[in-house]
Structure 1
């Protein structure tokens, strides 16, 4: 099965329960098949959780969800040691992070200490407890959601943690046709409890995900495109509208995402359009607006869009 065939089948299955969010599914798949993580931002009720559950069901991968709250402790997510009377020893009890798809719901409601507990898992794909590192299942992908409007009781994500997410995907309202379809098909019950009843059919498994990752790694990137990505990243560091520009890791994540998008189009090489497609999603959470730009009502997407227009595109 080619990467394009895998992507098309997943889009078809997820589209049975999540309507009008094809772009969010594409970004999620690009991250999954590139070994990245996804930050989903949108108002409540836009099917963020359902999207992740549907993806997991389609790929026959384990799904876990953690509701992030201010009183949540690191051990509630990663795991803790419990004393077993029968063997007179402490034993590590794995937390919900030991799954394939972890959804950290409303991540910015957890304390900075708890958020920091996720960093090792997101970067090293393991959890260290009492000096012993426990590897996470493969593949492992973390989704996190946050609300863009409700700021009360939230803790801003540290820039170091935001940089661990490959993409920040804006999950907006569906168009009129998709919303009417949702109302028609879901008004008889909650789609969260009826994925199988609604026709979600597994089309692949962990083996196919790992095979697709190998194919994407081999996607050809010509030298001019590497330079293009570097110039785009450099432009964010020199733009007066941005206080903090893109890190080298941000440039690497964009290039890896572009390779996945190229395979979605059944190509074994990357084009400038692939880079442009992932540029905003890959950098909007990694750059910081300057105070003057914020006062003028600017936003990261508009600044990144101007950079895309300004930087010369290789032929």
Structure 2
């Protein structure tokens, strides 16, 4: 039987729970994205040669959700770092991501006309400038993280650069892209090869974003590896969700050409599993990812949990 004292105590606990500030994910994303966009604008200014910098800025500042740079900052914060510590790296990651989009859209690759709701880079500036804009962003990304990261030991900066390079080379993005290209039109692509493609083509840079942030933030090896696994799960989930959206949403809703994987006869998760099973797999990956975050400060880890849920339930 509850006493009057117990009732009062329960009421006080309920009031305390209500008074606790809830994490506002939308506000967090707006604030972090604004900071990243300003830093990107400052880093890649419009200067001579005018044409190449115009092309770089066209794609770099075209919008996007800034998931990768925000993941980098959030991972840095969860191990005790701050936004300013990770900002140069976050910008570098977005430069690399933008490079991959410019090159992916080229006629020799996916031959796409639309990206982030705008004509693709080569449609505006021509193929030659688009290739060079991607190359320039890739080169400057490494210069920027090396020169502009402050308050971090040289050893950690070098470690972060190594992780970032690995995530986009023949052990990362390039590997996934090559296998993806060679798999077009083949009928014997199973789940194992599809997972290889996406773990490298998509998940590797997401993983690199989180790991780089954790290294620069001062994370110990155990923290870095737990965050690595978290990122690997959400990276694969990101692609599973993207595959589903590609066949369930319009080009207007997505801001890019819908159904292009179907036209290119690519193997996707909906093609192998169906839409319902693909959605179930994405939810499992989300649960597996969030299990990796146990043991971290609940307040500091809230942005990473919210980002995982955002990817899992993203409408576009």
Q: Which has the higher contact order (CA 8 A, sep 6+)?
A: 1
Same fold? TM cut 0.5: no
Scaled by the length of structure 1, the TM-score of the pair is 0.28
User: Which protein has the bigger strand share?
Assistant: 1
Which has the larger share of helix?
A: 2
What's the TM-score, normalizing by structure 2? Answer: 0.28
